[in-house]
Amino acid sequence: MNQTLKKTKRVITILILSLSFILGACSLPGLSGAPENTIRIGTLNTTESQIMGQVVKQLIEHETDLEVVLVNNLGSSIVQHQAMLDKQVDITATRYTGTDLSGALGMEPVNDPDEAMKIVQKEFKERWDQTWFDSYGFDNTYAFTVTKELAEKYGLEKVSDLADVAGELRFGVDNSWIHREGDGYQGFVETYGFEFPKIYPMQIGLVYEALANDEMDVVLAYSSDGRIAAFNLKILEDDKKFFPPYDTSLVARNEVLREHPELEGILNKLVGTIDTAKMQKMNYEADGEKREPAVVAQKFLEEHHYFEGVE
């Protein structure tokens, strides 16, 4: 009796283990293709990242016979980076220069956008054999934002223009920004030399409505958020270059680019095609008008005829 019991125990364990390994490597029709012909794209849990992931996916599928799967909802840039190092994903669709400088690379922030881009491109190539592509053309940084009416009333163009009127303006900001080291509120006061006496900490998602409903006068928003365009808001230029640049690019593993030499040219077509206003619009189509990122991406690619003929 004990003999048979042990035997069955062993048989079942072996069965389960072997099944897990077979399944891990095999392709299930309709679900996952053969690993060597599949490109995996990692995206964050933000709308912007998922739109860009879909743009990259649909473009590759349009141009090649490769199968592309999205690995959605990765928690943060660090998780994305780790997934790339573990070879769980081949491409990450949205990476931000400022985030990766301080996060993945552990370096000091750099305020010049071109220099920041140069550094991440060089470091990612040397350290991890990955290609940081040139930017899509938009950035997603903290931005001082006001309504168009207020901007006209006080003639506001740049952040410095706020200095004279800051005393009477209600300023709504992200909770975490107030106490943040470096590019937080303290750093802001030191760089620009004026304070906001009336400062209201709130959740970042609420600042747009607060501004549109006249509950706030100035807010710190994310520059590519769709509601900036939808609510007719105006971003003030960060004239003292206080915030580090967050230019957005895709990053790919060179191993995959070598395996599929056609990919690099295809991915390069996206460089410089989406400015911040365009990204705001696409983000709004997804969040405001409730179109899925996949649908927004498809529309974008169709408008550009899938960049056919572009080299």
**Contacting residues toward another protein, per CB under 8 A:** 1, 4-5, 8-9, 12, 15-16, 19-20, 23-24, 26, 28, 30-32, 40, 42, 45-47, 50, 69-74, 83, 86, 88-89, 205, 286-287, 289-295
Q: Residue 144 and residue 17: Cα distance in Å, rounded? A: 55
Q: Are 148 and 155 in contact (CB under 8 A)?
A: no
* Residue with Cβ nearer another protein (34 or 310): 34
Minimum CB–partner distance for residue 237 and another protein (Å): 26
Minimum CB–partner distance for residue 18 and another protein (Å): 11
Minimum CB–partner distance for residue 203 and another protein (Å): 10
Minimum CB–partner distance for residue 43 and another protein (Å): 9
Minimum CB–partner distance for residue 73 and another protein (Å): 6
* Residue with Cβ nearer another protein (241 or 299): 299
- Consecutive H or E run containing 192: helix 185-192
Q: Residue 41 and residue 36: Cα distance in Å, rounded? A: 14
* Residue with Cβ nearer another protein (69 or 151): 69
Question: Which residue type, as a one-letter code, is found at position 245?
Answer: P
* Residue with Cβ nearer another protein (62 or 125): 62
- Which residues, including other chains, have CB under 8 Å from residue 19's CB and lie 6 or more apart? none
Minimum CB–partner distance for residue 2 and another protein (Å): 10
* Residue with Cβ nearer another protein (32 or 37): 32
Per-residue tokens: 75: 């928690």
* Residue with Cβ nearer another protein (47 or 131): 47
Q: Residue 171 and residue 185: Cα distance in Å, rounded? A: 12
Please provide residue 280's backbone torsions phi and psi, each rounded to the nearest 5 degrees: -55, -45
Q: Are 53 and 292 in contact (CB under 8 A)?
A: no
* Greatest CA separation for the chain: 90
Per-residue tokens: 114: 């071109």
